Structure 1
Amino acid sequence: MSPLPRFHRLPAERRSAILAAARAQFAAHGPEAASYNKIIEAARISKTAAYQYFDGREDLLAAVLDDVLERLLGVLGPWTPAAGEKEFWAQLEAGTAALAAHLDSHPDDLALADPAARRAAGAAAWTGWYETLVRDGQRLGVIRTDIEPPLLAAATAAVLRAADTWALAALRDGGSPDTGQVWRLLRGLWTSTD
């Protein structure tokens, strides 16, 4: 699912405005409960135009979640090879802190981060980021090498998705999750028991 070609021909500002209005509605009412008619009204487009841009509500939701994921990956940035173990952990912690700060200041992204991450579980950009992280950690000796990188990247992604769900719940409740637990969990996953 993706927007129809006519949506991509709109000026960038108009596309962004439509996605922002839809994001606000999906965040406020939930991905399952948000009304397509209210989204169309908030985006200030006619129902006819909406169906020229999207096949329907689910298509629009997919576009919004893809946009949220793109925004989150933009905040996270690409994984760059670290010079050593300290830099590896510092980069991972800095990325996590940047994401937490973004989510704290963008409540719509916070509300939709979990469904966007679930949708992205198989997305190339998302899985590619994890594989790059794992390969760099293996190169540095931070991450075990007795498990093939794609399997370890998938396990790492699963652990971080679970950690994200836990941390997002804490953030939504106004708390501050103890990220030290996540680092201990990852170190356990990444350390060989042999």
Structure 2
Amino acid sequence: MSHASSSRTAARKAGAADPPRRTRNSERTKEAILAAARAEFCEHGLGGARVDAIAERAGANKRLLYHYFGNKEDLYRAVLLDAYAEIRAGERELNLEALGPDEAMDRLVRFTFRHFLDKPWFTSLLSTENVQNAAFLKTLPDIPALHSPLVGQIEKILEQGRAEGIFRDGIDPIQLYISIAALGYFYVSNMKTLSVIFERDLGATPMIQEREAQAVQMVLRYLWKPGVQPVREV
């Protein structure tokens, strides 16, 4: 075999290892595009966001953006789904089923509060979608499947609390979660205006810690049965 033939054979063998590398690169590119799109949509809304700006933020070719995600609206849908998937994944990692009911609820409240606090882009994205009357969220078939395990998990915590004589009856898990989310969402989404109105820096660590502790107290004291000494104080 000639040297040239050997080189071509070696090149073909080496080429066999290329697809995994391309796959890894494509995944990184997709992640970069999603992160860039998230930032662009949160800053400018769906109408003001530009595909050119997203591609530039991601350091990606605009043609790749269209190849992976389709048009701007499809990319927005992908960002929206990814945002919900991220918070649901974080909730699953809390391992709430291994905790007592009051501690599990404490951890869920703190996680939800911190998620809004640490990821202010999430509140911006939710605001954008609510302005659009959830038009794009309605087109995502994966959303109900993402949320149903959370509702089931909260229901199990409530059932365990009732069985232990800690939690009272008649609590709707969906209404409860809405209240938990509201305690974090409103604080973060209105932090700047409330800081001006009340002349306090709501972004300061002591204020954040106080608010987080109060959120936990509000939820647990709502759940505890009247006249029953709770397993733990907050």
Cα distance change, pair 109–162 in 1 and its aligned pair in 2 (3 A): closer
Cα distance change, pair 187–114 in 1 and its aligned pair in 2 (3 A): farther
Checking the alignment, whether the CA contact within 8 Å between 1:79 and 1:129 is kept in structure 2 is no
Deviation digits for residues 66-90 of structure 1, max 9, x if unmatched? 2222333344434522543442343
> Residue in 2 aligned with 1:125?
146
Q: Runs of 5+ in structure 1 lacking a partner?
A: 1-7
Tell me the secondary structure at the aligned position of residue 168 of structure 1. helix
Tell me the secondary structure at the aligned position of residue 30 of structure 1. helix
> Residue in 1 aligned with 2:15?
none
Does residue 88 of the first structure (1) align with residue 90 of the second (2)?
Answer: no
- After superposition, residues 114-193 of structure 1 pair within 5 angstroms as 114=127, 119=137, 122-141=143-162, 142-146=166-170, 152-171=172-191, 173=193, 175=202, 176=207, 178-179=211-212, 180=214, 183-184=217-218, 187-188=221-222, 190=223
Checking the alignment, whether the CA contact within 8 Å between 2:55 and 2:61 is kept in structure 1 is yes
Checking the alignment, whether the CA contact within 8 Å between 2:183 and 2:215 is kept in structure 1 is no
Aligned-partner Cα distance in 2 for 1:172–1:124: 34
Cα distance change, pair 83–164 in 1 and its aligned pair in 2 (3 A): closer
TM-score by length of 1: 0.67
> Residue 118 of structure 2: which of 95, 102, 109 is its match?
102
> Residue in 2 aligned with 1:50?
65
TM-score by length of 2: 0.58
Q: Given residue 84 of structure 1, which amino acid in structure 2 is its aligned partner?
A: G
Aligned-partner Cα distance in 1 for 2:81–2:144: 10
Cα distance change, pair 114–143 in 1 and its aligned pair in 2 (3 A): farther
> Residue in 2 aligned with 1:67?
82
Q: Runs of 5+ in structure 2 lacking a partner?
A: 1-22, 194-200, 227-234
Checking the alignment, whether the CA contact within 8 Å between 2:83 and 2:122 is kept in structure 1 is yes
Cα distance change, pair 155–109 in 1 and its aligned pair in 2 (3 A): closer
Q: Given residue 21 of structure 1, which amino acid in structure 2 is its aligned partner?
A: A
